[in-house]
Amino acid sequence: MRSGDRVESTLVLVVVMLILLLVPFAGAFGTATYTRLTDEARIARQTEQQVSAVLLANPLPPMGDVPVRGPVGPDRAPARWSVNGTEHTGDVETGIGDKAGQTVTIWVDAHGNYMTNPNTGTENGFEAVVSALAFWSLGTVGCGVLLAGVHSLMAKHHRAQWQKEWNSLGQAPGWTVR
């Protein structure tokens, strides 16, 4: 076995071990993400409040007037609401089937500005799992790129060795090249 092959085999073993070691780090990253998102949602629930808002127009899909549904997000409609005697207006997210004049419940901050609903525990868990998988995937891809780069360099080195040996064949006594 050539020394380059031994180096490459050792590197493959190290990369596999590194990928396996990334699993607990990805888990820790996902846990930290879940904790951060849960704290943000808890703080939002403490500092924000729910108020009633009246829809001023029929909701439209976020892509415009086209009456089609798709994975583009919730419908939005202009609405009016009051916080501490001050009236506010703005576009709010609505549910399917909501109509103009209907009262909906929205979240607002301390100043009465519209806020999206705080994340639920399920949403936080999903985002944490996705972030952990993304962390592990990026680490795995990085290791794969490192391995491919070393393999490419080793292949180039091996080709150079083969070329050197082929060139020396014509100079060795007793050998004929046909």
Give the amino acid at 128: A
**In whole angstroms, what is the distance from residue 75 CA to residue 99 CA?**
11
Query: What's the whole-number mean pLDDT along residues 116-140?
Result: 94
The share of the chain scoring above pLDDT 90, in percent, equals 46
Q: 57 to each of 28, 54, 78, 127, how far by Cα in Å? A: 46, 9, 6, 33
pTM attached to this predicted model: 0.67
Q: What is the per-residue pLDDT for 58? A: 86
Query: What's the whole-number mean pLDDT along residues 10-37?
Result: 95
- For 69-110, how does the pLDDT look when each residue is reduced to its tens digit (9 = 90+)? 555 567 888 999 998 888 999 989 888 888 889 999 999 988
